[in-house]
Structure 1
Amino acid sequence: MSSVSVGGPFTLVDDQGRTRHGDSFRGRYMLIFFGYANCTDVCPQTLTEMSEALGTVDPDARRIQPLFITIDPTHDTPQRLRAYTAAFSPTLIGLTGTPSELGAVERRFHVVVEPDASNGRDGFDHSALIYLVGPDGQFIAPFPAASGRTVLQAALRRYVPASADRRS
């Protein structure tokens, strides 16, 4: 029986224009969602639910770092990501990169992205999972974006100890 590897190292640019590596968040759990700022449904709903769950479980983001990784590097600049993520939580960090860099991260997390120009919109169909990654950088569990705040809260309480060192 073989297992599928999920996640792995990455180097991207954060919403402040700084280069960030997966190791930048070592010592903390990462809660990662892939999407794009022009999304009108799944992304804002998921980021709202994520932020509300984290606001209850880890309000200061001392144990869990929420990350939003764009799938639309053409439009989602660091400045745009900063404004977008701030609408959900001051602790949410937006990450972008080149199409090649983002494609590599998407493949590591098995994110499916397809262009969608239906109804005259310039958007994407994409898989909608929230990924929990441990403080050692190892993938722990996926959660469907539609899980909702209370399910996500319960899962975070299950997987993330009540106290953890902050090292980033």
Structure 2
Amino acid sequence: MTRMIAIAAAAVLVAALAAHYFLSFGSGGEDRFAQCREGKIGGGAKIGGPFTLVDENGETVTDEDVIDQPTLLYFGYTFCPDVCPLDMSRNIEAVEVLEERGRMVKPVFISIDPDRDTPEMLTDFTDNLHPRLLGLTGSSEQVRAASQAYRTYYQKQEPAEGDEDYYLVDHSTFTYLALPEIGFVEFFRRDIGPDRMADRVECFLDAM
């Protein structure tokens, strides 16, 4: 049942992303990023928006603080056994490829498990991946609001009896590219490699 809910939520997310494209770029206005998009999708909702979270230093930050340069956002959790580490490693590789090309892109990891992902836990996680990786957490309400802004899905699984501290969290796995003063412009699925992701991000940066 949980897996079916996750699949349904992913379908809703794709529809919302399609809707954003239609409203932002398919209503007759010129899309400056058209050449950077790999597929044409159409539909109707907004992706991205204001959020308030807590960074790994315990400081309260807003979306304007976080997206102060081209940014790759990923929603996951530090206890994730496989998907999140692989996705974040791919994102970090793409960021490093871009840096070699003289392009600075900020990698950001937003936890959808605020009960366990304290600022200290995020510091350990991000320091092991990249010195510029920013980890964000917050209250359950703050995390939910950020997730809803980006139309992501997550659902905590029920822990085994007697082992309440160990549980998995089903979640969507898109990475989002956001630009200062523009906001969300693109999303990347899990099957894209780091070099291809870097190429596509660079295209957006060239078109800014």
Residue 62 (structure 1) shift:
6.7
Could you list the runs of 5+ residues in structure 2 that have no partner in the other structure? 1-21, 24-43
- Please give the TM-score of this superposition, normalised by the length of structure 1: 0.87
Residue 10 (structure 1) shift:
1.0
| 1:34 alignment partner, SS class | strand
Matched residues, number:
163
Query: What residue number does 1:142 align with?
Result: 187
Moved runs in structure 1, 4+ residues, more than 6 A? none
Judge conservation of contact 2:98–2:104 (CA < 8 Å) in 1. no
| 1:150 alignment partner, SS class | helix
Residue 146 (structure 1) shift:
3.0
Q: 1:111-155: per-residue Cα shift (whole Å, max 9, x none)?
A: 111123488850111000000001114110010133221221111
CA gap 1:4/1:152 in 2 versus in 1, 3 angstroms: same
Query: What residue number does 2:147 align with?
Result: 106
- Please give the TM-score of this superposition, normalised by the length of structure 2: 0.71
Query: What residue number does 2:136 align with?
Result: 95
Query: What residue number does 2:71 align with?
Result: 30
| Greater mean deviation of Cα atoms: 67-76 or 111-120 | 111-120
Q: Which structure features the higher share of strand residues?
A: 1
Judge conservation of contact 2:72–2:178 (CA < 8 Å) in 1. yes
Judge conservation of contact 1:23–1:137 (CA < 8 Å) in 2. no
- Structure label with greater radius of gyration: 2
When the two chains are superposed, the root-mean-square deviation of aligned CA atoms in Å is: 2.4
The percentage of counterpart residues that share the same residue type is: 31
- Structure with the bigger RCO (C-alpha within 8 Å, sep 6+) is 1
Q: What is the correspondence of 1:5-154 to structure 2 with a 5 Å cutoff? A: 5-58=46-99, 63-117=104-158, 122-154=167-199
